[in-house]
Amino acid sequence: MKEVKISVRNLIEFVKRSGDIDRRFFSNKRAVEGIRAHQRVQREYSKDFLTEVFLRTQEEIEDIIFTVEGRADGIEVANEVTVDEIKSTTRNLEELKKEENLMHWAQAKCYAYIYAKDNDLNNINVMLTYYQLETEEILNIKKTFTFYELRDFFMETLMEYLEFSRRIVEWKDIRNSSIKKLKFPFKTFRKGQRELSVAVYNTIDSENKLFVEAPTGIGKSISTIFPTIKAMGEDKIDKAFYLVARSTGKQAAKDALERLLNRNLKLKITVVTAKDKICLNDKVSCNPKDCIYAKGHFDRVNDAIIDIFDSCDNFTRENIEKFAKLHIVCPFEYQLDLLDFSDFIVCDYNYIFDPTVYLKRFFENSMIRFTLLIDESHNLLDRGREMYSAEVFIADLEKLFEILPKKRKAARKHIRNALDEFKKLDNRTFYSYDSFIYFNVEVEKTVFSMNDFLTKDKEAKDYEKALDIYFSIFKYTKILEYYNRDFVSIKSEDSIKIKSLDIAPIFANILKTPRSSVFFSATLNPIKYYGKLLGADEKTNYYKIKSPFDPNNLVVLRNNKISTVYRDRENSIEEIIENLKNFSEDKGNYIFFFPSYSFMEKVYESYIEIAENENIVKQDREMTEFEREEFLNNFTFSSSTIAFAVMGGVFSEGIDLIGNRLRGVAIITVGLPGLSYERNILKSHFQKKYNRGYEYAYIYPGMIKVVQAAGRVIRTEDDKGKILLMDKRFSIEPYSLLLPSQWKIYDFNDPTEIKDILKNFN
């Protein structure tokens, strides 16, 4: 007998859903998780109520055993047993009395069936409890069912899922059989690749976390993906996520997976495409009025899922768009549904870590065993802080007040109150570890009270602008749920901002759900700094893999004299240019990395005045994807291009210019983030918490950018290249200790010494 595992929620959503997509406003009962609403209702339960009751049952239908589980919000065990399902809403409760939500009843009836079966009950009550978020009123709707009525309903629901279940079971056998035969897709492992693969496999096997620093060019994508798939074939996990910060990382993972598919691997793969890119319309308008794919989407999407599942293994963007057009469904929502039936998923960090868009379905279903592979994970620290920060602009509240019709009295009142509370705060810019409670209360009430406008006034002037503002302030209220002593509230002239300082406790909680997590990058130094701030625990393993490349293929020059601190930069430009000219005298392509656009542009302007017949290009502040490709096209195997770029930008990591496409890289300054009010708050916080304020806020983030930029030079075993470090701080601790240990560094004071050092290397 084969087993299919599914949660009550996923079962009901797959079988019972219907209707349109309407993202002009999706009701708060979906947008707000309702955690506080659940807690409020549960606090008012009598002593006879059990809360958050875990339920599981197995049912055999034909040749399949279904394991179905879920968690009931509340079960009253008294003279009569009542299963309660709590739903939060902003709708008028009188309206809910007159209509029946089939999805809500279906979910509650499944819980009631499992409990009645386990406890030999002939009859059981099922209750829906609606909590009105704005008024805090509660509506209870109760029905009584016999055990046989519930059993018939439950079995009929499973029968509707049976056909697709067989596909899942058959596919798993095909997949695992192909994985057993799968061999590493290259003749031999590169140095370090086997080490990394073994470390990843052991981490999955032991259900642990791993932070690993693996050098650039080792082939991290295939070295993490291959052992993960092998573990999947041995039934250690059901699914894997490969998380990336940039499109370049996504492409590397896609290439590695397709290489394995070409070796007869059978694997359902989805590389997630952003909504604005995969949308089939000229403008993203997710509502049945403006989009034919949104109208009736849920009536047709299951057929679309079955069709693509039977037709192909690689759910590429092209395939998703093809079947979306065929079945007239929204390609983005269709893509998200396909993740339930994908074995390997490549997507951005935010689909796991961002509180407003994360894939909740995988965190609510305890039966899914999945692992996370987190690429270039040094990027996750700043990204994570951004995910858990939010800002309300006073101009947005004023604009929203203008847009709302006068009949929307409650929403207008709360906006006016929020503006008044803002005025009561000091005129100066300041921050506080305590949230601005009175302002926040009015912002939250604004969100809840906008339901009527958003659902009934969709034709109002500037509705789309109001919706954008709504989602902005909704995120603010969402982040408030996480507020603790690792957050501050910043009051400026025109906004209130919640800023996350230390995301470690939040991430530690998120990482409890995956069976294993692997954080990897070429630059995780100090490695335990990243572990500490990204949610590692005492069992987490740390590993550093030595560079497999011949150290004689890279020469690193370090100027011990030049100062590029902010106050000295203007006076250093002439000397910087002399260093750059001597460093790049021989033919080839070079990139000069600077700490900021403004400093880069000043040096660039001076450099081109003395340049002789050189092909010089410069990174612009705003560049389209096409412009970025054109920039990189200047680096050919036979060209001599000088490029000016910014550390931490799109050209300082994630690009591969192998062989003669890149001869050398110059790095000007130690890359410290610019001094700012918010960065200094971060420094102060980490000084109090870890006694390492300046290191955590400035030095470590800066030196990561330096090493990432330097990593563009050596990408393969055959590459040869050179690096120029320009800032005397590179020679002193702690900066010198953060440079890669395998570098052979040649110190000098005078630019004329560069030629002598390079004489033997060139």
pLDDT of 369 over the 70 cut: yes
Compute the Cα dihedral for 617, 623, 624, 625 and give only its sign.
positive
pLDDT of 762 over the 80 cut: no
- Please give the mean pLDDT across all residues of the chain: 92
pLDDT of 201 over the 70 cut: yes
pLDDT of 24 over the 70 cut: no
pLDDT of 35 over the 70 cut: no
Cα–Cα distances in Å, from 397 out to 439, 443, 465?
A: 12, 9, 11
Q: Which of 428, 440, 412 is nearest to 492 (CA)?
A: 428
Mean pLDDT across 391-417 = 96
pLDDT of residue 268: 97
Q: How confident is the model at residue 36 (pLDDT cuts 50, 70, 90)?
A: low
pLDDT of residue 44: 75
Cβ proximity of 714 and 549 under 8 Å? yes
Q: Which of 226, 193, 240 is nearest to 212 (CA)?
A: 193
Cα–Cα distances in Å, from 463 out to 146, 424, 450?
A: 48, 30, 12
Of all residues in the chain, what percent carry a pLDDT higher than 70? 98
The rounded distance, in Å, linking the Cα atoms of 535 and 539 is 11
The rounded distance, in Å, linking the Cα atoms of 148 and 117 is 10
Q: How confident is the model at residue 136 (pLDDT cuts 50, 70, 90)?
A: confident
pLDDT of residue 67: 95
The rounded distance, in Å, linking the Cα atoms of 126 and 110 is 10
Residue 20 sits at the vertex; the CA angle it makes with 14 and 21, to the nearest 5 degrees, is 90
Return the higher-pLDDT residue of 681 and 287: 681
Cβ proximity of 376 and 245 under 8 Å? yes
Q: Which of 10, 69, 9 is nearest to 341 (CA)?
A: 10
Residue type, 508: A
pLDDT of 619 over the 50 cut: yes
Cβ proximity of 634 and 643 under 8 Å? yes
Pairing of β 123-132 and β 138-146: antiparallel
Cβ proximity of 365 and 7 under 8 Å? yes
Q: Report CA dihedral (188, 373, 195, 246) to the nearest 10 degrees.
A: 70
Buried-state track 59-77, b at ≥16 Cβ within 10 A, e below 16: beeeebebebbbbbbbbbe
DSSP conformation letters of 384-433: HHHHT-EEEEHHHHHHHHHHS-TT-HHHHHHHHHHHHHHHHS-SS-EEES
Cβ proximity of 447 and 472 under 8 Å? no
pLDDT of 343 over the 90 cut: yes
The rounded distance, in Å, linking the Cα atoms of 371 and 473 is 33
Cβ proximity of 595 and 668 under 8 Å? yes
Whats the size of the chain, residue-wise? Answer: 762
Pairing of β 664-668 and β 641-646: unpaired
pLDDT of 430 over the 80 cut: yes
Residue 648 sits at the vertex; the CA angle it makes with 647 and 649, to the nearest 5 degrees, is 90
Residue 563 sits at the vertex; the CA angle it makes with 562 and 567, to the nearest 5 degrees, is 150
pLDDT of 414 over the 60 cut: yes
Q: Is 554 helix (H, G, I), strand (E, B) or coil?
A: strand
pLDDT of residue 20: 87
pLDDT of residue 27: 42
pLDDT of residue 446: 95
The rounded distance, in Å, linking the Cα atoms of 548 and 671 is 26
All domains in the chain, ordered by first residue: 2-163 (3.90.320.10), 182-267+343-386+504-544 (3.40.50.300), 277-341 (no CATH), 389-499 (1.10.275), 551-759 (3.40.50.300)
> Can the peptide bond before residue 514 be classed as cis, meaning omega within 30 degrees of 0?
no
β-partners of residue 495 are 393
pLDDT of 714 over the 50 cut: yes
β-partners of residue 127 are 84, 142
The rounded distance, in Å, linking the Cα atoms of 172 and 233 is 9
Q: Give the model confidence (pLDDT) of 233-266 as tens digits.
A: 999 999 999 999 988 789 999 999 999 999 999 9
Cα–Cα distances in Å, from 564 out to 61, 573, 599, 665, 711?
A: 73, 9, 10, 17, 21
The rounded distance, in Å, linking the Cα atoms of 332 and 284 is 11
Mean pLDDT across 296-306 = 94
pLDDT of 290 over the 80 cut: yes
Q: Is 726 helix (H, G, I), strand (E, B) or coil?
A: strand
pLDDT of 34 over the 80 cut: no
Q: Helices (H), strands (E): how many in the chain?
A: 30, 25
pLDDT of 32 over the 50 cut: no
Of all residues in the chain, what percent carry a pLDDT higher than 90? 74
Would you call 471 exposed, middle or buried from its count of C-beta atoms within 10 A (0-12, 13-18, 19+)?
Answer: middle
The rounded distance, in Å, linking the Cα atoms of 683 and 670 is 17
Residue whose token pair is 């250093």: 572
pLDDT of 23 over the 70 cut: no
Cα–Cα distances in Å, from 40 out to 37, 82, 479?
A: 5, 18, 19
Cβ proximity of 584 and 656 under 8 Å? no
pLDDT of residue 548: 81
Q: In what order do the strands lie in the sheet containing 344-348?
A: 314-315, 269-271, 344-348, 239-244, 370-374, 516-521, 209-213, 541-544
Q: Is 760 helix (H, G, I), strand (E, B) or coil?
A: coil
> For residue 501, what are its two tokens?
């300082």
pLDDT of 289 over the 60 cut: yes
The rounded distance, in Å, linking the Cα atoms of 615 and 557 is 24
pLDDT of 190 over the 90 cut: no
| Alpha carbon distance, N-terminus to C-terminus of the chain | 68
β-partners of residue 240 are 344, 371
pLDDT of residue 30: 41
Residue 742 sits at the vertex; the CA angle it makes with 738 and 748, to the nearest 5 degrees, is 75
Q: Which of 136-150, 281-295, 308-322, 628-642 comes out lowest in average pLDDT?
A: 281-295
Would you call 399 exposed, middle or buried from its count of C-beta atoms within 10 A (0-12, 13-18, 19+)?
Answer: middle
Cβ proximity of 743 and 731 under 8 Å? no
pLDDT of residue 29: 37
The rounded distance, in Å, linking the Cα atoms of 179 and 267 is 9
DSSP state of 289: T
Cα–Cα distances in Å, from 605 out to 143, 574, 598, 666?
A: 77, 11, 11, 17
The rounded distance, in Å, linking the Cα atoms of 251 and 487 is 35
Mean pLDDT across 618-630 = 92
List phi, psi (to 5°) of 74: -160, 145
Q: How confident is the model at residue 669 (pLDDT cuts 50, 70, 90)?
A: very high
> For residue 173, what are its two tokens?
């056998």
Mean pLDDT across 174-197 = 92
Mean pLDDT across 692-714 = 94
The rounded distance, in Å, linking the Cα atoms of 749 and 205 is 52
Pairing of β 615-618 and β 641-646: parallel
Cα–Cα distances in Å, from 65 out to 166, 346, 408, 722?
A: 11, 30, 53, 62
Cβ proximity of 679 and 698 under 8 Å? yes
Give all strands (DSSP E) within 292-342, no chain letters.
Answer: 314-315
CA 184 from centre of chain: 29
Q: Give the model confidence (pLDDT) of 325-338 as tens digits.
A: 999 999 999 999 99
Mean pLDDT across 665-691 = 95
Q: What is the pTM of this model?
A: 0.90
β-partners of residue 591 are 643, 665
> Can the peptide bond before residue 734 be classed as cis, meaning omega within 30 degrees of 0?
yes
The rounded distance, in Å, linking the Cα atoms of 396 and 470 is 9
Q: How confident is the model at residue 33 (pLDDT cuts 50, 70, 90)?
A: very low
